[in-house]
Amino acid sequence: MKRAFTYIATSAFAGMAAAYLAVTLFTTPPPAPSLAPAPPPSLAPAANPLPSQGPASYASAVQLAAPAVVNIYTAKVTVQRGNTLFDDPFFRRFFGNQFQSRPRKKLQTSLGSGVIISRDGYILTNNHVVEEADEIRVVLSNGRTLKAQVTGVDPDTDLAVLKTDASDLPTITVGDSQGLQVGDVVLAIGNPFGVGQTVTMGIVSATGRDQLGINTFENFIQTDAAINPGNSGGALINAHGQLVGINTAIFSKSGGSQGIGFAIPVALAKGVMEQILKQGRVVRGWLGIAGQDITPELAESFGLEAGSGVLISGVLEGGPADKAGLAPGDVITRINDQPLTSSHDILNLIAAVPPGNHVRVEGWRDRKPFDIQVEVSERPRMEASQ
């Protein structure tokens, strides 16, 4: 028994020794660790790169449009009378007019921007930029200064057309403002604060903005491109350098840009300019009524659906609506088969109808339907200014 145990033990030891020799003699030792630095990761582009989201630079768009954007400087002379005690009628009874203060002339200047539309010198800008100006000068992007005269204005949309005697001027390419979408890149070019031609970039924040109380007829493009005083009348262009709007107003509590600017769509501006050049003024239809939106309370009292129709709150005596028999208290629901939801709808629908044409007016009076024809007249210029 002792021999067997020893054998087994010896055999096991011998087997372990043989295994050690086999491992030592026939197994390749691992290589020593290399001290060379690891190769850098590959910088090759991915197999499916992300699609480009737009150009890295808008310099080409600016180069196309900027030469057609001008700076506008206006001057106006006003007469002011000094405020002295001798101007008071009580003192003038004793001292007469010999000590009365003399009137003083004061020169008021303002600045804005404009866009050259035609090579023969027609420029589109805002009415408030040139309103009541005695002298108008435009400065081109190359520094050339030209005199300009007002060809026509449209206070209802705050647009004006100027004319210079120069020819072969750089013009801007007119784009499609009706195809603008929220998120489209736009650039504003103008003369903010008189520092010189400046370009700012943003996106279209909204389209079709109205009832802001800025103009009578509103259909603004809202943008967050920085627009400041002096930008008025300047160009709002798309990423291709095409004119899509005329910068007009900003919403601001500080007087500077706060990311809410408004531009008149070029489609509207182009139509106004064509009428001014063709007939010297903008002709719009008019009914001579004042409307009020239907509130839920009014809808309940008239037995109508909320937001359906417009309540006539006033009718001008002798106007088209008065001659046709419309009266305060009537509710107009449709004009030429087009439903109405606000008084703004009536204003735009009638303005687009040429004077002398008839429109079909449907509505309710004393809870009974009516259907009449009204002959449209031309919108008075005095009321347009108001």
List of domains in the chain: 61-163 (2.40.10.10), 173-279 (2.40.10.10), 285-385 (2.30.42.10)
Cα–Cα distance between 192 and 198 in angstroms, integer? 7
Catalytic site residue from 110, 177, 232, 343: 232
Cβ-based neighbours of 102, under 8 Å, separated by 6 or more? 81, 82
SS3 186: strand
Catalytic residue among 154, 158, 330, 345: 158
Q: Is the pTM of this model over 0.85?
A: no
| Separation CA 183–CA 322 (nearest Å) | 46
Active site residue 184: no
Tell me which H or E stretch contains 138.
strand 135-139
The dihedral sign for the CA sequence 219, 224, 229, 234: negative
Question: How distant is the alpha carbon of residue 17 from its chain centre?
Answer: 93
**Which has the closest alpha carbon to 147: 72, 44, 199, 82?**
72
Q: What is the pLDDT of residue 54?
A: 60
Low-confidence residues of the chain: pLDDT under 70 = 1-55, 79-104, 305-307, 382-386
Q: Is 240 a catalytic residue?
A: no
User: With contact defined as beta carbons under 8 Å apart, do 274 and 215 qualify?
Assistant: no
pLDDT value, residue 80 = 64
Q: Is 358 a catalytic residue?
A: no
Compute CA 184 distance to the chain's CA centroid, rounded to the nearest angstrom. 12
